[in-house]
A and B are shown apart, each in its own frame.
Chain A
Amino acid sequence: MNSRCGIVVIAGVLASLAALGGAWPACAQEAEAPPLQHWSFAGPFGLYDTAQLQRGFKIYREVCSTCHSLKLLAFRNLAEPGGPAFSEAQAATIAAEFQVTDGPNDKGQMFQRPGKISDYFPPPFANDQAARAALGGALPPDLSVIAKARAYERGFPWFIFEAFTDYQEGGPDYIHALLNGYADPPAGFTVPPGGQYNKYFPGHAIGMPKPLSDGQVEYTDGTPATVDQYGRDVAAFLMWAAEPTLDARKRLGFQVMIFLIVLTSLLYFTKRRVWHAVHHPEAPAG
């Protein structure tokens, strides 16, 4: 009789979960899920692919940097371990190609000078208002941490598995998909003036015109010069820009894991030995 009460309650909870199920179709997004890409930096042992980061940087340099800033990155970062692995001299050469505002000088005036390796990437526009004025009202976001600031929800129950399958690449997947997501709007969809249709952009009307087309950026290492490949390379570069310590993190993580597993195993056997006499009072200790 007692347990019947509990069953009634459990049935009630199941009923409310069923109400949840009813809500499911309502929240099903119309946006397509970005196709999952293969990333060299995925998984517990995945590290950045240096060549890919260099190609991605080339795309940022030649295409994205026209409109998008990368304010948190310094030229010195390009030569730091775990990144695109440019030499210091190369990083200094890259820096010198940019004009940086410095000052005030002895006369109290700001002046322009070639960038130094310690400088941060100068933004393409003086301020947000200047960017909006030049780009018809759209503000291109800073790309420093964009790869961690974008993702897509895979929803229940996927998000539970992601913790264990080590899926951390929603950001790069989204960036790659977005760059490949330009298409003609479906019938009945009106793109607002100055906008473009993009399959993967939330709301589908994106202010950024299609930035990349096949063959636009020259690759010297034989990598196919396609938008698909460009998207992957620049997404990898932006992931590095957002998380420049990923290589160091995974390397240290492996060492810490080994240490913790060995320590915990030893603690387990110590515990067993210490408790042996408590669990088996009739047996001799040890």
Chain B
Amino acid sequence: MSGQSSYTPQSPLLQWLERRLPISGFVHSSFVVYPTPRNLNYWWTFGAILTFMLVVQIVTGIVLAMHYTAHVDFAFNSVEAIMRDVDYGWLLRYLHANGASFFFVAVYAHIARGMYYGSYKEPREVLWILGVILFLLMVVTGFMGYVLPWGQMSFWAATVITNLFSAIPVVGNAVVTWLWGGYAVGNPTLNRFYSLHYLLPFVITGVVVLHVWALHVVGQNNPTGVEPKTAKDTVAFTPYATVKDAFFTGLFFIVLAWFVFYVPNYLGHTDNYIPANPGQTPTHIVPEWYYLPFYAILRAIPSKLIGVIALAASIILLAFLPWLDTSRIRSANYRPLYRQFLFVFFLVVIGLGYLGSQPPEGGYVIAARILTFYYFAFLLVILPLLGLVETTKPLPNSISESVLPGGLRASAASPAEAKR
């Protein structure tokens, strides 16, 4: 997505089009000759996987929407009708529901990679912030989608989450009534959630375009965190990155297919096969697994208002990582201390996820408080201080030096030549 392309299509028709709308030149410069660092590992394939999952979700979602009825009296049965009477309806629904889970698997891997290799650092701050916005949009979209089948967990999740806004001083209750479109979660709530659940994926698509645009301006980070210096440090996007992304997307899809075809309800909650009943609260209200760490943070704090603030802060703080992290070195490979604290941070998030699935009592609450403390201490205290005191390892001079044992060899064929 950068600058003028010198690309000239071969077909006369495309040449005609190119003079009027240089779209093939744009695709050629952005997705064919675009240089990518030669040392990217498989953690860099999750961007492609996420794009692919977005398409899967939109395609399955649009077909599901053709058969779904957004009404409290019919929603549950219309989902069951999709499962029973629509041709391959079970496949569409299981793909969409498990696809949402795997969308989050991929986004967590993508975020973790960004944190490990310092991909948020100058000049990639805007790229990173757009990513945090995308994650927030995904969280909201996923939550609204979970409400649509109108089972017990759908209804009570909607009740619990919308009620969080009542913690806002003075206007809280008015805001909640406004969100519900009434004085309880009901038909207006379901209808607007459906409308927004259909809208937000297209907003996500728009922000993805910005995200990719920003990426193509600043270029990809890489495991060394050293910017590419010569042509020998990079390879062309196609075929190198394309085929690598395609392979790993295939692997990812095998795991997704295992869930869709063999354990389709494993990631769901059995209570969501009970139709919504406002008169009966489930024993434990739990969100989908991908929200559990944040749910644990919410419940770890005794004050509702502060709990909600902590919940919001736990995600929004990520947008400030470029400034919270004071180190000039990007990659954790060269930051021994940061690396350890970061792995603990990842363990803490997984631990919070487990605690979020358990009842908020006894030792669980104590553990959740300790882990929540670390979560925020890592972002607000450890990160800023580490950059000032840490002794880092020496960086390689260039990407090719780090991957080729002999460094830059005179005989090393440049990738463009090597393609033949």
Contacts and interface: CB of A to CB of B under 8 A. Distances in A.
A157 to B, nearest CB: 10
A163 interface: yes
B240 A145 contact: no
Contacts of B77: 72
Interface residues of A, number: 66
Interface string A262-286: 0110011011001101100110010
Q: Which of B77, B250, B251 has the most CB of A within 10 A?
A: B250
Contacts of A274: 239-240, 243
A148 B355 CA distance: 25
A129 to B, nearest CB: 13
Interface in A132-155: 141, 144-146, 148-151
Contacts of A130: none
A257 B257 CA distance: 7
A5 interface: yes
A6 interface: yes
A270 B362 CA distance: 54
Contact of A285 (B348, B351, B420): B420
A6 B347 CA distance: 13
Interface in A228-286: 242-245, 248-250, 252-254, 256-257, 260-261, 263-264, 267-268, 270-271, 274-275, 277-278, 281-282, 285
B266 A163 contact: yes
B367 A267 contact: no
A10 interface: yes
B108 interface: no
B263 A168 contact: yes
B351 A163 contact: no
Determine which residue in A148, A244, A257 has the highest number of CB atoms from chain B within 10 A of its CB, and name it: A148
Contacts of A163: 259, 263, 266
B340 A20 contact: no
A89 interface: no
B116 interface: no
Contacts of A72: 77, 80, 84
Interface string B313-352: 0000000000000000000000011001100100110010
B22 interface: no
Interface in A82-109: none
Contacts of A21: 363
- Size bin of chain B's contact surface: 35 or more
Q: Is the interface of B mostly helix, strand, loop or mixed?
A: helix
Nearest to A72: B80
A198 B415 CA distance: 71
Contacts of B361: 23, 26
Given A9-B344, A26-B362, A244-B84, A16 B351 contact: yes
B257 A17 contact: no
Given A2-B336, A3-B337, A148-B265, A282 B409 contact: yes
A139 B260 CA distance: 34
A252 B262 contact: no
A250 B262 contact: yes
Nearest to B256: A260
B364 A23 contact: yes
A46 to B, nearest CB: 10
A162 interface: yes
Interface string B265-291: 110001101100000000100000000
Given A16-B351, A22-B362, A171-B270, A260 B253 contact: yes
Contact of B257 (A27, A146, A167, A260): A260
B4 interface: no
A19 interface: yes
Contacts of A150: 270
A14 to B, nearest CB: 10
18 contacts: A3-B336, A3-B340, A9-B341, A13-B348, A19-B367, A21-B363, A27-B358, A77-B84, A141-B274, A148-B265, A148-B273, A162-B266, A245-B90, A249-B261, A252-B91, A256-B261, A267-B250, A270-B243
- CB-CB nearest 5 A-B residue pairs: A253-B261, A23-B363, A6-B340, A277-B418, A264-B250
Given A16-B371, A260-B257, A285-B419, 17 more contacts: A2-B337, A3-B337, A6-B341, A12-B370, A16-B351, A19-B370, A23-B358, A23-B363, A23-B366, A151-B270, A245-B83, A256-B257, A257-B254, A260-B253, A270-B247, A271-B247, A285-B418
Interface of B: 38, 77, 80, 83-84, 90-91, 94, 235, 239-240, 243-244, 246-247, 250-251, 253-254, 257-266, 270-271, 273-274, 283, 336-337, 340-341, 344, 347-348, 351, 354-355, 358-359, 361-364, 366-367, 370-371, 374, 390-391, 404, 409, 411-413, 415, 418-420
